[in-house]
Amino acid sequence: MNDKWVIGVIGGSGLYDIDAIKDAQWIWVNSPFGQPSDEILFGTIGGIEFRFLPRHGRGHRIAPSDLNARANIDALKRAGCTDLLAISAVGSLREEIEPGRFVVVDQFIDRTQGRESSFFGTGMVAHVSMADPVCERMAALAAGAFHAAGGKVAQGGTYLAMEGPQFSTRAESHLYRQWGADVIGMTALPEAKLAREAELPYALVGMATDYDCWREDEDAVDVAAVIAQYRANAGVARDAVVRFAASLPESRTPSPIDRALDNAIITAPDARDPAVVARLDAVMRRLLVTG
């Protein structure tokens, strides 16, 4: 059994590189699901293997609706990742989650439209559980790392994934608060769903940049304010990744998510489309190797 950590970091708005990575090399990883957002930065932090992917591409050139999340997750799996830490700018839907605070997300509400949200489909059908969509171990380690880096951290929160690229109307913002959402963003889904299908334990830390538009006595959110806040947050995020690496146990013990596909595949072996199975060679590697 391989007990080594290989941590994939998905950087969101304002986090396009991690300068602490040693022996760094940008490498293109091809995916049968299309083109990932960018090359992946291979290297180490404190002796731990890391793989960094800027979600929007360097220079923030890819819009939320145009992100190829399937290619991104597939490429990270091909790059050898065992676990994923995602970092994302979010708007706050709660007074107590002020701009500058980091939220370790534990639930999602999906309001996206038309995005490719599964590696599976006709010819190879699978249904993974998303009841508990993040990895508790990764989330706890992330919370500790961001706290140690000097960040103000809220552990636990529901992320509302909207389509965008426009920000919310005031009516929508109030509605999402009534639904119990705590933060809002445009990119965590289908990313988290695909990570589960790829058997990659996933945690998401949201960096609050604004109060969305539910506070009637304040100006609506605009890009200038978001950029200013995520630039302020980025330094803490980079430091937290270094502290995260230092906090990892020496050996990686198995996670239940490592076997998320065990009871998920419903298509009978003799009914599986070979072409569909072929492009799942990374996602289903464990099952294909063991038969």
Q: What is the pLDDT of residue 290?
A: 63
Is residue 48 classed exposed, middle or buried when 0-12, 13-18 and 19+ CB atoms within 10 A define those classes? middle
| pLDDT, tens digit, 9 for 90 and up, residues 63-121 | 999 999 999 999 999 999 999 999 999 999 999 999 999 999 999 999 999 999 999 99
Across all residues in the chain, what is the average pLDDT?
Answer: 94
Q: Whole domain around residue 222: which residue ranges?
A: 6-290
Instruction: Considering the candidates 212, 217, 222, 258, report the single residue annotated as catalytic.
Output: 212
pLDDT greater than 60 at residue 1? no
- The count of structural domains within the chain is 1
Between CA 159 and CA 91 the distance in angstroms is 9
Is 212 annotated in the active site? yes
In a domain, 1, yes or no: no
In a domain, 240, yes or no: yes
In a domain, 106, yes or no: yes
Q: What is the pLDDT of residue 224?
A: 74
| pLDDT, tens digit, 9 for 90 and up, residues 214-245 | 998 766 667 777 777 777 788 899 999 999 99
User: Which CATH number covers residue 137?
Assistant: 3.40.50.1580
Is 66 annotated in the active site? no
Between CA 73 and CA 146 the distance in angstroms is 24
> If you average pLDDT over residues 278-284, what whole number do you get?
97
In a domain, 92, yes or no: yes
Instruction: Considering the candidates 38, 74, 182, 210, report the single residue annotated as catalytic.
Output: 210
In a domain, 65, yes or no: yes
> If you average pLDDT over residues 25-43, what whole number do you get?
97
In a domain, 270, yes or no: yes
| pLDDT, tens digit, 9 for 90 and up, residues 175-221 | 999 999 999 999 999 999 999 999 999 999 999 999 999 998 766 66
% pLDDT > 70, the chain: 97
